[in-house]
Amino acid sequence: MRKLLFVLPLICLFAQVVSAYEIKGQINITDDWQPRIYLASIQSPENLFVASPEFVINEGMIDTDGNFVLSGQDLPDDSRFYRLYLIRSNSFAIEFTNDTRRNFIHLLLDNSSQLTIRSQDGSELFAKIQIEGSEGNKALAGFEDSYFLKRRSLNEINTVAKRDFQSQSLNRSIREFVNQSEDPMVGLFALYHIEDRETDFLRNSNFYFDFQERMKSSYPKALYTSVYDDMLNNLVGYRDLVCEIPKITKPWRTWIIWGEALVIFMLCLWIWKLKMRQREEDSIDYFQLLTDKERKIWEGLAAGKTNKEIAAELFVEISTVKTHINNLYKRLGVSNRKEAISLYNSNK
């Protein structure tokens, strides 16, 4: 019994040591960068390039030779994505650069991960690294190296058509990497780099459904499996919205189509009536509709004469002229002197 009491604390201590994670290594940095390295959590693959100090879970110093160590026991036991990154010397803001001096890498870690990371061939930061202790993280690093190299080439293309072709080629290479990945979690990381996943899903929906089965088979209770399910549901909803799919097309789509057709028909009918009315107005001989005296009064109005001048010219009372003018307006379909003059000028 005494021996058991003595052994139990040793077992607990050993379990604590084993369950602790450690990330160590050596990277080449210049004075442009702070000699401090950060480890941040990523709650969803959608946030691979979302930066915030709130996500930092560990940080450590980098000595003059570029050596660093990060360790702890506070990671979840299941594998999740994390970001290891540096910050520029003249900035407190987190920014990611993916040029030849990439200042970040992504890792797949759990609470027992033991990794060693080293810069290769004199490269700076994480541009070219070697990872020991995890085949999955080796594959992850290899994917990022290849991806960002292709992204830089894509950004240099200056024609829309060629850029679109190269973008599709990049997405195709990502899908091939996903299918070849032994660990679906590594494949999931790559899958979230596909640009315009809505369009890619329309073209390659079976790929997305097949990968869902892989995730459920390998990681049935993982956080990222449910996150992927939500993403796939959104993609299916997008497909249902934009495509005519048998047995999935929503009834309201038919209503909208019929409503649009009715609106178009009413507009065409309205335009036709306007043209017919204009044609009828153009064919009317207004001078034939008027009496001799009304025509003379209309001519007087067009000449700018006053009612008094028209009355004197026709040898009638001003009140008689006003009566003729009112009758004239009714026959011409106008409501005032200005409209009557305009109509006269367009028909003389």
CATH of the domain at 322: 1.10.10.10
Domain check: are 70 and 165 in the same one? no
Domain limit, last residue, from 133, 165, 198 = 133
Assigned domain for 336 exists: yes
Domain check: are 112 and 161 in the same one? no
Residue 4 has pLDDT above 50, yes or no: no
Q: What is the mean pLDDT of residues 25-37?
A: 91
What's the structural domain count of the chain?
A: 4
Residue 7 has pLDDT above 60, yes or no: no
**CB atoms inside a 10 Å sphere around CB 246:** 5
Report pLDDT for 252: 55
Q: Phi and psi (nearest 5°) for 26?
A: -145, 130
CA 68, 74, 75, 78 dihedral sign is positive
Per-residue pLDDT reduced to its tens digit, 148-160:
888 888 777 778 7
Q: What angle do CA 294, 299, 284 make, to 5 degrees?
A: 70
Per-residue pLDDT reduced to its tens digit, 169-193:
899 999 999 999 999 999 999 998 9
Q: What's the longest Cα–Cα distance across the chain?
A: 142
Assigned domain for 117 exists: yes
Per-residue pLDDT reduced to its tens digit, 286-329:
677 778 888 888 888 888 888 888 888 887 888 888 888 888 88
Report pLDDT for 261: 82
Determine contact, residues 101/154, Cβ cutoff 8 Å.
no
Assigned domain for 149 exists: no
Domain check: are 255 and 215 in the same one? no
pLDDT band at 71 (very low <50, low <70, confident <90, very high): very high
Assigned domain for 160 exists: yes
Residue 214 has pLDDT above 90, yes or no: yes
Report pLDDT for 99: 64
Assigned domain for 1 exists: no
100 lies in which domain range?
19-133
Residue 224 has pLDDT above 80, yes or no: yes
Per-residue pLDDT reduced to its tens digit, 326-341:
888 887 788 888 888 8
Domain check: are 103 and 126 in the same one? yes
Assigned domain for 13 exists: no
| pTM of full prediction above 0.75 | no
Domain check: are 260 and 237 in the same one? no
Domain check: are 209 and 270 in the same one? no
Domain check: are 158 and 211 in the same one? yes
CA–CA separation, 46 vs 192, rounded Å? 7
Assigned domain for 119 exists: yes
Domain check: are 236 and 327 in the same one? no
Domain check: are 292 and 278 in the same one? no
Domain check: are 321 and 220 in the same one? no
Domain check: are 28 and 116 in the same one? yes
Q: What percent of the chain has pLDDT over 70?
A: 85
Domain check: are 117 and 40 in the same one? yes
Assigned domain for 10 exists: no
Q: What is the mean pLDDT of residues 281-286?
A: 61
